[in-house]
Chains A and B, each alone.
Chain A
Amino acid sequence: MKYTKEHEWLRVEGDLVVVGITEHAATQLGDVVFVELPEAETMVAEGDEVCVIESVKAASDILAPLDGEIVEVNTKLVDKPGLVNEDPTGVAWFFKMKIDDLAALDDYMDEDEYADFIG
């Protein structure tokens, strides 16, 4: 698993990258009440705002971690946003991306580095 400074996790699954938010992020956000997902089969660039998460406290975004194509989104989250708090690193993945070069993932933090990052 790789991690971004925006508190997303990235997991390679075959030739796809699965993206979600970390336990730390879910805790900080508080109870999630709304999730807006991108359309599948959308081309995105690194840093694009692709998802919106609203908690009881505030709204925040998920940014595309890499250039590529969003090929699948987790529509379960639209009906049950609370899954993001219940199981942020499992059931509550947000989207799957196809990227040209998986080596681009190497630029992101590994688990130890992320643990240091959030202190």
Chain B
Amino acid sequence: MTDLKKLVLANLHAELGGKMVPFAGYDMPVQYPAGVMTEHLHTRRAAGLFDVSHMGQVILRPTSDMAALVAAFEAMMPVDVAGLAEGRQRYGLFTNEQGGILDDLMFANRGDHLFVVVNAACKEADVAHMQAHLGAVAEVQHLTDRALLALQGPGAEAALAAWVPGVTEMRFMDVREFDTGFGPLWISRSGYTGEDGFEISVPAAGALDLARSLLASEGVAPIGLGARDSLRLEAGLCLYGHDIDTKTSPVEAGLTWAIQKSRRTGGARAGGFPGADRILHELAAGPERVRVGLRPEGRAPMREGTALFDPDGTPLGEVTSGGFGPSVQAPIAMGYVAASHAAPGTSLMGEVRGKRLPVTVVSLPFHPTTYKR
């Protein structure tokens, strides 16, 4: 095995009893002694602190003018970048020429530059991809001297406001910089659990102090990757490499909300992104297959790779994420099926250990989101 990269907070995870596993090249806490179920429910009830420092943090700083960077960044994805106001963040997708997804990401307009957060497993490729497409108009800075913490749940605002009072004024997808005793914090009101909360970029030197301060707040507990996965699944959010990849288009994935009108046929800046032919066609004509929510009728979880059939036995697709939803208190899954069988309420069969078991298509999310809009 190749050497795993250590998180800045590795010693804190050890002290908290974190069970470490390899993930995207990092030695990551998958759970703490409380366990996945308890950690999940705690996040929904109070607040959870996640170390997501494995993710890639990238600054795109224009070499001459911001408009040139914005235009070049827009040419990389089917998303409205030019319309994003200063101090706001948006979900984005790098697409390939076939209309598949290279990675999903968050990008923020910070006035004189863009700040981008990408998935850990893709970050080297993403940085090279951005360098290739943006190198002529921007400096691509992959930051390796900052940690990234997510504080999620109904108690997140109060816990963070005790140290950074200004966060109470932020709403969902706002981004702001705060000068604090932990160093300059770049905070967005976002996350990947379906809960209200924040993602906090902190200089490595201040990360331990910040994490300890937040953990000392009432109701804040450390949460591992295991619960992060069950939380995002209940929220109906895609995990790159599982629910979306280079073969799936944003339309098939049900991510059409991320493709603003300005980039669609008839929009002010329609097309002009990799894979536009396929993506615009699918927007108009509908995709052949589509990502759906799935509720197994029995208690057996249907995990990634479970084959899906119609009641007559015709193959329809497969599960891309599946497990048990602690807040739903039942097995839940997402997967791709033929568009003809994607309506909520459709009865399908999923093959688990050789047995075909009933499963119903449902709308997403499984658990209501509580973003502070």
Same complex for A and B? Answer yes
Chain A residues near B271 (CB, 8 Å)? Answer: none
Task: Assess the B37–A59 pair: CB atoms within 8 A.
Answer: no
Task: Assess the A56–B36 pair: CB atoms within 8 A.
Answer: yes
A36 with B37, Cβ < 8 A, contacts A30-B226, A56-B324 known = no
| Contact with B300, one of A30, A34, A56 (Cβ below 8 angstroms) | A34
A30 with B31, Cβ < 8 A, contacts A36-B300, A56-B36, A59-B301 known = yes
Chain B residues near A78 (CB, 8 Å)? Answer: 299
For the complex formed, measure the closest distance between the CB of B248 and the CB atoms of chain A, giving whole angstroms.
24
Chain B interfacial residues counted at CB < 8 A: 18
Chain B residues near A36 (CB, 8 Å)? Answer: 300
Task: Assess the A31–B37 pair: CB atoms within 8 A.
Answer: yes
For the complex formed, measure the closest distance between the CB of B303 and the CB atoms of chain A, giving whole angstroms.
7
For the complex formed, measure the closest distance between the CB of B74 and the CB atoms of chain A, giving whole angstroms.
40
For the complex formed, measure the closest distance between the CB of A99 and the CB atoms of chain B, giving whole angstroms.
26
For the complex formed, measure the closest distance between the CB of B30 and the CB atoms of chain A, giving whole angstroms.
8
For the complex formed, measure the closest distance between the CB of A94 and the CB atoms of chain B, giving whole angstroms.
16
| Contact with A52, one of B31, B37, B331, B353 (Cβ below 8 angstroms) | B353
For the complex formed, measure the closest distance between the CB of B41 and the CB atoms of chain A, giving whole angstroms.
10
B contacts with A: majority SS? mixed
Task: Assess the A31–B301 pair: CB atoms within 8 A.
Answer: no
Q: Give the nearest-CB partner of A61 in chain B.
A: B353
Bound-state Cα–Cα, A28 to B135, Å? 47
Task: Assess the B230–A56 pair: CB atoms within 8 A.
Answer: yes
Bound-state Cα–Cα, A56 to B230, Å? 8
Task: Assess the A57–B303 pair: CB atoms within 8 A.
Answer: no
**B315 interface hit (Cβ, 8 Å):** no
Task: Assess the A34–B303 pair: CB atoms within 8 A.
Answer: no
Task: Assess the B331–A56 pair: CB atoms within 8 A.
Answer: no
For the complex formed, measure the closest distance between the CB of A76 and the CB atoms of chain B, giving whole angstroms.
14
Bound-state Cα–Cα, A31 to B37, Å? 6
**A33 interface hit (Cβ, 8 Å):** yes
Interface residues of A toward B: which range?
10 to 19
Chain A residues near B323 (CB, 8 Å)? Answer: 56
Chain B residues near A34 (CB, 8 Å)? Answer: 299-301, 324, 331
Interface residues of A in 36-92 (CB under 8 A from B): 36, 52, 54, 56-59, 78, 81
| Contact with A30, one of B36, B299, B303, B353 (Cβ below 8 angstroms) | B36
Q: Give the nearest-CB partner of B303 in chain A.
A: A59
Chain A residues near B300 (CB, 8 Å)? Answer: 34, 36, 52, 54
**B35 interface hit (Cβ, 8 Å):** yes
Chain A residues near B353 (CB, 8 Å)? Answer: 52
Interface residues of A in 1-59 (CB under 8 A from B): 30-31, 33-34, 36, 52, 54, 56-59
Q: Give the nearest-CB partner of B296 in chain A.
A: A34
Bound-state Cα–Cα, A13 to B172, Å? 60
**B287 interface hit (Cβ, 8 Å):** no
Chain A residues near B299 (CB, 8 Å)? Answer: 33-34, 78, 81
Chain A residues near B183 (CB, 8 Å)? Answer: none
Q: Give the nearest-CB partner of B301 in chain A.
A: A54
Chain A residues near B326 (CB, 8 Å)? Answer: 31, 56
Chain B residues near A52 (CB, 8 Å)? Answer: 300, 353
Bound-state Cα–Cα, A6 to B358, Å? 31
Q: Chain B, 18-60, contact with A by CB distance < 8 Å: what is the 0/1 string?
A: 0000000000001100011110100000000000000000000
Q: Give the nearest-CB partner of A36 in chain B.
A: B300
**Which residues of A pack against B, CB within 8 Å?**
30-31, 33-34, 36, 52, 54, 56-59, 78, 81
Q: Which 7 residue pairs spanning A and B have beta carbons closest together? A: A31-B37, A33-B324, A56-B36, A34-B299, A54-B301, A56-B324, A34-B300
**Which residues of B pack against A, CB within 8 Å?**
30-31, 35-38, 40, 226, 230, 299-301, 303, 323-324, 326, 331, 353
Question: Given A56-B37, A56-B326, list of 10 further CB < 8 A pairs?
Answer: A33-B299, A33-B301, A33-B324, A34-B324, A54-B324, A56-B36, A56-B226, A57-B30, A57-B226, A58-B303
Pull 25 A–B residue pairs with CB atoms less than 8 Å apart, ordered by A.
A30-B31, A30-B35, A30-B36, A30-B37, A30-B226, A31-B36, A31-B37, A31-B326, A33-B299, A33-B301, A34-B299, A34-B300, A34-B324, A34-B331, A36-B300, A52-B300, A52-B353, A56-B36, A56-B226, A56-B230, A57-B36, A57-B226, A58-B303, A59-B303, A81-B299
